[in-house]
Structure 1
Amino acid sequence: MAAKNGFVQGYASSQIDERVEIIFKNFENFIDLVDMFEDNICDQITEEKRFNRRAEIGECGVRVQTSRKSDPTFSQASNHYDNIIDIRRGDLDKLLEYTDDAEGHRDEIETLELMRRDYTTVTSAMSVLSPKDRNELKDVLNKEKAIVDIIESTGNLYESVKSRLYRNRRKVKIQAKELIELRMGKAA
């Protein structure tokens, strides 16, 4: 939980340049991380709601199933799916009803949505590069190739490959920053 809060809260408090660097650093699994944090918050919300509803009606915490009609596994999966749908639609009022920290959850969910939008913006910003340079940069960011692999395939010197990757990364960062600022309504 602390790692999640640190990563998501750190992202939320970062400036645009820093957010783009976080995306670059975690490029190969950035969306997987966002999905993981989203799943975690959905589970947390489900548990809080379940506990608070039971406490509200005075249940002591021990439940015995006697009807044989419920399917707890299906119910849990259905609740999780419904929570994901509510998050993606932005229907947070209903989702956060009966939770302990509605505002904290809302902030985290909004940050996760911001992370998704920023990632999409960074990948879109790569269009400023030629297809060859774009693929080369994506391969390095996805850790599919190292600089040594690029040197071997292109025959270029280490310094020229390193400089080209740095320039291309900088171009993408500048373009992504401009696009994010436009999306946020800030003047560049």
Structure 2
Amino acid sequence: MAIQLVDDYAAADAGGKVDIICRNYPSFLGMLDSRIEGLVYTIETDRACSRHSDRGALGVRVQTSGTSDPTANTGISETMTRDALRTCDFSSGVLEGTENEIDYMYEAYVIRDMRKAYFLFNTQMCILKPKEKALFTSYINGAKDAAEIADELGITQESARLKIHRAKKKVKLSMLHCMQTKDRRDGKCRQEKQISLM
């Protein structure tokens, strides 16, 4: 499920990205953390397979120093890989010796963007009035459905759905403005960089 979430997010336009955050809000960060752990496991397995094939047909590893601690080495390697994936800083060579280095990097960048968008979404909810924010937050967190909100406010379910929709629309429009401003700025930076390279 976390893999599909990342794939869907990467393929979505800005509005679709906001919708994905809304639909998966309560478990969004957990799914991203799950995917990072899945990538750590995959990368470590990929590296182990590469090391194994580098040993040749015998597959025998000879320890020469007598001071090796395989458990500590594995833990350190996994921590370095995890940190590199979270920060998208691959300068330490954590992906060297893997077959899918570019794919791992791409997915790490998408996950970083997803995390940033999630936190932007949280800050954009502050544009809502306090009661509107409380209603919307309880809905997207899964604490209450439209029927429970309607009962609590003494309105029809249709009116509750409309209030939820309006709140989502306000947050989405604010997010889209921020995302499009970032895209315009990034595009301008890329154009300036291309011009300076000419």
TM-score, reference length from structure 2? 0.82
* Shift, 1:106, TM fit: 1.1
* Shift, 1:5, TM fit: 4.1
Q: How many Å separate the matches in 2 of 1:60 and 1:28?
A: 50
* Shift, 1:171, TM fit: 0.6
Q: How many Å separate the matches in 2 of 1:60 and 1:6?
A: 39
Q: Find the counterpart in structure 2 of residue 167 from structure 1.
A: 166
Letter in 1 for 2:180: E
Relative contact order: is structure 1 or structure 2 higher (C-alpha 8 Å, sep ≥ 6)? Answer: 1
Q: How many Å separate the matches in 2 of 1:146 and 1:6?
A: 25
Q: Which runs of 5+ in 2 are unaligned?
A: 188-198
Partner-residue secondary structure (3-state), 1:83: helix
Give the conservation status (yes or no) of the 8 Å contact 1:121–1:180: no
Which of residues 3, 10, 13 in structure 2 aligns to 1:12? 10
* Shift, 1:95, TM fit: 1.9
1:119-130 paired onto structure 2 within 5 Å: 119-130=118-129
Letter in 2 for 1:23: I
After the TM superposition, which of the residue ranges 22-31 and 67-76 deviates more from structure 2? 67-76
Identity over aligned residues, as a percent? 24
Q: Find the counterpart in structure 1 of residue 147 from structure 2.
A: 148
Q: Find the counterpart in structure 1 of residue 88 from structure 2.
A: 90
Q: Which runs of 5+ in 1 are unaligned?
A: none
After the TM superposition, which of the residue ranges 55-64 and 111-120 deviates more from structure 2? 55-64
Residues 49-91 of structure 1: CA deviation (Å, up to 9, x unaligned): 12212322336446699x9965544433332221121223322
Q: How many Å separate the matches in 1 of 2:130 and 2:78?
A: 39
Residues 110-147 of structure 1: CA deviation (Å, up to 9, x unaligned): 11111111111111111110122112111111101112
Query: Are 1:102 and 2:105 an aligned pair?
Result: no
Number of aligned positions between the proteins: 185
Q: Find the counterpart in structure 2 of residue 50 from structure 1.
A: 48
CA RMSD of aligned residues (A): 2.5
